[in-house]
Structure 1
Amino acid sequence: MTCKVDSTMNSELLNPYTAEEVTIAIPTWPPSNLPDPMNKNWGNLGHTTLKLDISKAYDKVEWSFLRAMLAKQFWRLNVKPDLLVGKIIRARYFSGFFILEAELGSRPSYTWCSILSTKELVKVGLLWRIGKGRTTRIWIDPWIPHAPAFRPCNRLEPLPPPTTVHHLFDPATQDWNRDLIESLFEPTESAPILSIPLSRFELQAELIWHYMRSSVFSVKSAYHLACNNAGASNPTSSSFSCPSVVKGWKSFWQAKIPNKIRVFIWRICTDSLPVGVNLQHRIPTLTP
């Protein structure tokens, strides 16, 4: 196959790749699988899939984007438990448990490890739409919009079990019991609770995504969350958001110096050089 990476192709990628990097990433295609008049592949219409080894281009991979893509699979296992792949994974790794409480289990596959690694990212934006509140736990499940971690942190008085949300309703009106709520929670938590509209119909509780108006998970919103989390955990990257630093970097990128030197300095400042520690962090199978 002729390998060519032009500017049009690079414009569609998150980062520009060289022809050499693409050649390394694409595995050998056996001649027996190539379409020709002597085999069954000739004349067939369909899609050809090339498996890319992302680790070969580790320093150009948008890791936050890949995490967001994996988080979408975790979300699908949450909201669509009847999917065949969901049934297989559920039976193998967390039968009888809610996926948010699932663990790796014994001898986990690489796929399951990858999907489960995004659990904390998904939990940041996961929220219960309570319905009639019979299954949503007050102190454990995320169900209060605009509250830290979407759950109450302070209780003024103990609430006897069972502690599900429907115990906060007024039995006569099936609306919020304002007096009870204001006696149990701080004003910063009682106000968001009382602002949640209650349905008059028998609706089941369902998981929604807080960071989209449609309440449906999106890779874009998860990507922004992953980037924010990465910046918060990395002081070097988060410090780049300071106005003075941003101004300094703009001047740096406009400096008349060779591009390879400019990129090299940028990699040093962002701790992106392919040294042993960074390789081990991005490719766990390696040792520094």
Structure 2
Amino acid sequence: MCHSRDEGGLGFRSLYDFNLTLLAKQGWWLAQNPDSLASRLLKAKYFPHNSFWQASLGSAPLVCCWGILEARSILERGLRWRVGNGNLIRIWHDRWLERPHLFRPFMPPLVSGVEFVADPIDAESASWNLNLVKELFPPCEVVLILASPLSCRLHPDKLMWHYDLNGLFSVKSAYKVVFNRRFEASSSQLSLSGVPMWKALWKANVPSEGP
């Protein structure tokens, strides 16, 4: 019933998934506003020695904190770095490539001493160092990297939500990520075989019920 009508469902929202999405929105706000009063209070009580992304529940967490940390996996599934100057992004471990789901390089480090995305960026011309990029990555990833635009001012790196054109977290796009994660197998099967049939069924010109 929670699948779309094109997939044979009725389009109802899953309350569990929708609740997780709303909690993830609160987690997004905390991550984007670390200097706010709420963020500082939660940090002081629950994760004083690390960030929101490394926080653990502890022995007696509040229900709201449990929910926000539970929904953190949703954020981690859709968050990636928007490359600015590359100083904050670990080139082999952080999520920064425009490759859905993984967002990281496939290959292990090929050249020692290269740790941050800033290393293959030419700061003077605000462009990628083509020779170093080709030395570090396989051809398929070279194409992805060179297609990533760099600002001429090389602004600081910024976390963004991959599934929104503006890079901002939205409940609508996050709900799709959550729902598809739980029903990935069935959704793919339906989308491949049933979509034309269900679309035709819902658009069928049938007589209405008589008096």
Which interval holds the TM-score relative to the shorter structure? Answer: 0.7 to 0.9
CA contact (8 A) 1:71 1:118 kept: yes
Aligned to 2:79: 126
Distance 1:169 1:159 in 2: 16
Q: Deviation of residue 202 (structure 1)?
A: 5.0
**Identical counterparts, % of pairs:** 34
| Shift in alpha-carbon separation, 1:90–1:132, aligned structure 2, 3 A | same
Q: Does 1:208 align with 2:164?
A: no
Structural mapping, 1:1-288, within 5 Å: 62-146=15-99, 148-155=101-108, 157-160=110-113, 163-170=115-122, 173-201=125-153, 203-232=155-184, 239=189, 241=191, 243=193
CA contact (8 A) 2:109 2:136 kept: yes
Distance 1:202 1:241 in 2: 41
Distance 1:216 1:192 in 2: 21
Q: Which amino acid aligns with 2:146?
A: L
Distance 1:172 1:81 in 2: 32
Distance 1:168 1:192 in 2: 14
Q: Deviation of residue 148 (structure 1)?
A: 4.9
| Shift in alpha-carbon separation, 1:63–1:238, aligned structure 2, 3 A | farther
Aligned to 2:3: none
Distance 2:195 2:147 in 1: 41
| Number of corresponding residues | 190
Q: Deviation of residue 108 (structure 1)?
A: 1.5
Distance 2:157 2:66 in 1: 28
Runs of 4 or more consecutive aligned structure 1 residues displaced over 6 Å after TM superposition: none
CA RMSD of aligned residues (A): 2.7
Q: Deviations over 1:96-131 (max 9, x none)?
A: 423222222232111111001111111111011222
Distance 1:247 1:196 in 2: 39
| Shift in alpha-carbon separation, 1:98–1:244, aligned structure 2, 3 A | same
Structure 2 spans left out of the alignment, 5+ residues: 1-10, 202-211
Taking structure 1 as the reference length, the TM-score comes to 0.59
Q: Which amino acid aligns with 2:174?
A: A
Q: Deviations over 1:144-176 (max 9, x none)?
A: 112551111214623325x01111123553421
CA contact (8 A) 1:156 1:186 kept: no
Q: Deviation of residue 137 (structure 1)?
A: 0.8
Q: Deviation of residue 178 (structure 1)?
A: 1.0
Distance 2:140 2:17 in 1: 33
Distance 1:218 1:148 in 2: 17
Taking structure 2 as the reference length, the TM-score comes to 0.78
CA contact (8 A) 2:78 2:101 kept: no
Q: Which amino acid aligns with 1:64?
A: D
Distance 1:213 1:236 in 2: 27
Q: Which amino acid aligns with 1:129?
A: R
Q: Which amino acid aligns with 2:65?
A: W
